[in-house]
Structure 1
Amino acid sequence: MEIVAVFGVVLAVAVLLSSLAHRSVMSLPLLFLVAGVVLGNGGFGLISVGHDGDLVRHVAEVALFVVLFSDGMRVLAEQPRHAWGPPVRALLIGMPVTAALITLAVWGLTDLSLVTSALVGIVLSPTDPVLVSGLLRRDEVPAALRQTLNVESGINDGLALPGVLVLIAVLGASPTPGPWTLVLELLGGVALGVGGALVLGLLIRLPGLVIRPEWQPLAPIALAATLYGTGHLLHLNQFLAAFVGAMTLAALAPDLCSAFGPFGEQTSEMVKFFALLVFGALLEPAMVTTLTLGAFVVVAVTLFLARPAGLLLSLLGTRLPVDQRLVAAWFGPKGLASVLYGLFVLRAGIPRAQEVFALVALVVVVSVVLHTSTDVLVARRLRAQEPDEADVSSGTRDR
């Protein structure tokens, strides 16, 4: 219960500082991460979190699911439906290029094997919807850019999971899953999300069934709980199910999504902050001592070269203005998805798993510091008016 008490105190401090943080470079997510580090395993030890326990894995998993479900509600509700080109290109081109560049950096700068380096590359390739949401909720962010970052961060977590599982199996930690098994997990997650939302959408249209206004926010919660539990029971990708299911429900029942909106945003903020506190408590100074100088260079390559190069390449020829492309290239924070997959690696017991997790954790910590401290600056730079649909449809010239 110590961690709950600490979370309550830090949350109260964050609430009191929320207005200051909104108009300055102060980072509330960073506040929770620092509190976890200071009070956790590497600090005063008030919060005890074990690497081999289930707390961190469950917290990271639930946080990802909740944030993906909440963000999926807004994809169709707030964004232009025709602007799907950039996020699809970011997923199909930007993410593989980013993973490949990180793989080459790890392989060339450390003594890890090529397969292990590829595992690190895939673990660090997704962007984190939990941290991206801090920028997306600012009014200054144009709709097209919000669409790109929201969809990319919402889907790439689930797409990275099969690669992580395959490489862990190749390294000998578990039986190699067949390709059809992985495909079924992905497609099954999508089908589960769409099917669950369709069933709920049909039920609320049955004659004689009317949802009272005060009960409307509970309908999406019921869907989320069903998707999460069913995904686990059937071994389907519950992250894709969350995002796709929320998008489908938003298209079928916008009134339910509007009613769920305030609660969903507050809930996702709560789980995000709690997850960062737990992750911070997990970190110890001894992790850094296991890393070589090349590993620190990998951190810089991951954040300043691999992600920007992958995104800028994927967005060539799109209608996004150059300044928005640069923002998308920079704002690709690494967070709970990478932590969760890093824990998979740690628990799988592959060779040098501790070193892999330490490298992943270092990248995440530096990313949290940099990206949560620059979202206000990025938003101010985008303060110019969002282009209207006519501008988007006619194309915007690169400046």
Structure 2
Amino acid sequence: MLYTVLAVVSGLFLLYSISIRPLSKKDITGPMFFVVGGILIACFLPNKSTHLEGGLDYVLPLIEMTLSVFLFTDAAKSKLSVLKHSIQYPSLLLFVALPLTLLLGIATALLLFADLTLLQAALIAIILTPTDAALSKGLLENLSVPARIREGINTESGLNDGLCVPLFLIFSLLANSPETTLGYVDVTIIFVRELGVAVIIALVSTFAFIALMRFAMTHRYFAHHSSPYLLLGFAVLVFSLAQALHSSGFIAAFVAGLLFDKFAPKHLSKPLIKDSEHIADFISLLIWCLFGFVVAYAVIPEINLRIVIYALLSTTLIRMIPVMLSLSFTALNLKERLTFAWFGPRGLASIVFTLMVIDTQIEGKSLIATIAMTTILFSVFIHGVSTKPIADSFSDK
């Protein structure tokens, strides 16, 4: 059975690779293709995989490492000169829109699901607050889209993962141990540890890495055929160090990417980033195939009308209303504000948070996971289908 599944997955990669151009013309993205593939695999296999929690110890680190590579490479491709002049947009998205999105997500969950506690609703909202720029690649790579939009969305996506981690940890700790009480000092310590230590790790690691890379180039130790593993290994190293020291590996990876973009030799950084992304893309598509498999077994049978309504609202209005409000008094025109508001796809970060909830003893974790994964599923298709038309609309000006 295992080799049958491997043969089918390999066939999916082959089919996707040889038909990528016609698929892109039909606005079918890689995640969409492989989610459907995972669902189809589940439909044609005997139902022997109802106990999915046992594999979390292996799957979760793989997803986390893949996300860390994407965060690093996205940041390393950021044009800091552009971002410096447009920092107000990601700042507003992170410090105004994000809290409003979280609060609106909590209120909507409590309204739709009367049996949820406040902490359970907060967990659902925080799982679905981070965005994933990797699902909007068509927008970020289209040079017709204004740079301030592309860099703003990319920066927001990179940083909101890390900013949500401390809140997620607090909510999950309280939900898992209702008798636990956290004071202002405890919360402050968690935030300082998660964010401050991550930034320090990113600074020290990146400058040491750049110095090592320059030394290797000077002494001709560096070989082009090893380049796919160089940034991949460094991104995972930074992430793992931060996690081992109980800080945010996601923030550390993104900050390290920004520093690499600023200080690394320009003639070398672009090919290194491109090579690393190819490997990360391959792993991420495997994860989306696995996601479709899990959705078919554990999510689709549990979906009901309330879950569908919440998923649709979370994918659209719960994100759009706060973003439109936060950008109301900026120089952006209506189309640009709507573009910022629309592109909040849920991806690997939300999957990571969901799996972490499943791996706890939190009451109601099955409902929390079902709501979250349904929203992620909707987002893959809603944002996937709409990315190319919206990006192309800027070239029509």
TM-score above 0.5, yes or no: yes
2:377 matched to 1:375? no
Q: For residue 204 of structure 2, what is the aligned residue in structure 1? A: 195
- Residue-by-residue CA offset, 1:190-247 (whole Å, 9 max, x unaligned): 2211221112233445695456462666543342242133223222211111111011
The verdict on how the C-alpha distance between 1:186 and 1:128 changes in structure 2, with shifts beyond 3 A counting, is: same
The farther-off stretch of 51-60 and 266-275 is 51-60
CA separation of 1:5 and 1:67: change in aligned 2, threshold 3 A: farther
Distance 2:26 2:9 in 1: 23
Q: Deviations over 1:301-335 (max 9, x none)?
A: 21221111111112222233321211111111112
Corresponding position of 2:309:
297
Could you tell me how far apart the structure 2 residues matched to 1:70 and 1:176 are?
Answer: 38
1:4–1:58 Cα change, 3 Å:
farther
Partner of 1:33: 35
Q: Distance in 2 between matches of 1:18 and 1:288?
A: 28
- CA positional deviation for 1:356: 0.6
Map of 1:64-213 to 2, 5 A cutoff? 64-76=67-79, 79-111=82-114, 112-173=116-177, 178-179=186-187, 180-205=189-214, 209=219, 212=222
* 8 Å Cα contact 2:195-2:248 kept in structure 1: yes
Query: Structure 1 counterpart of 2:333, which letter?
Result: P
Partner of 2:245: 234
CA distance in 2, matches of 1:260, 1:233: 26
Superposed CA deviations along residues 237-278 of structure 1, whole A, max 9, x for unmatched, are: 111111110110111013331221321331232122111011
Distance 1:176 1:17 in 2: 55
RMSD over aligned Cα, in angstroms? 2.5
Is the Cα contact below 8 Å between 2:71 and 2:158 reproduced in 1? yes
- Quick one: percent identity of the two aligned structures? 25
Separation (CA, whole Å) in 1 of partners of 2:194 and 2:268: 28
Whether 1:19 and 2:7 are equivalent positions in the alignment is no
> Hey, what does 1:394 align to over in structure 2?
none
Higher helix proportion: 2
Question: How far apart, CA to CA, are the structure 2 residues paired with 1:145 and 1:211?
Answer: 40
Could you say if the C-alpha distance between residues 141 and 204 of structure 1 is closer, same or farther in structure 2, counting changes exceeding 3 Å?
Answer: same
CA distance in 1: counterparts of 2:229 and 2:311, whole angstroms: 42
Letter in 1 for 2:55: G
Q: Where do 5+ consecutive residues of structure 2 fail to align? A: none
Match among 252, 259, 266 for residue 271 of structure 2: 259
Aligned length: 384
State the partner residue of 1:57.
60
- Worse-matched range after superposition: 31-40 or 56-65: 56-65
Deviations 1:91-133 (A, max 9, x none): 1111111111111000011121122111111111111133133
Identify which range, 330-339 or 71-80, moves more after superposition.
71-80
CA distance in 1, matches of 2:237, 2:139: 29
Q: CA deviation at 1:135?
A: 2.7
- Say if 2:256 is the partner of 1:245: yes
TM-score by structure 2 length?
A: 0.88
Consecutive unaligned residues in structure 1, runs of 5 or more: 386-399
Distance 2:107 2:254 in 1: 31
SS of equivalent to 2:247: coil
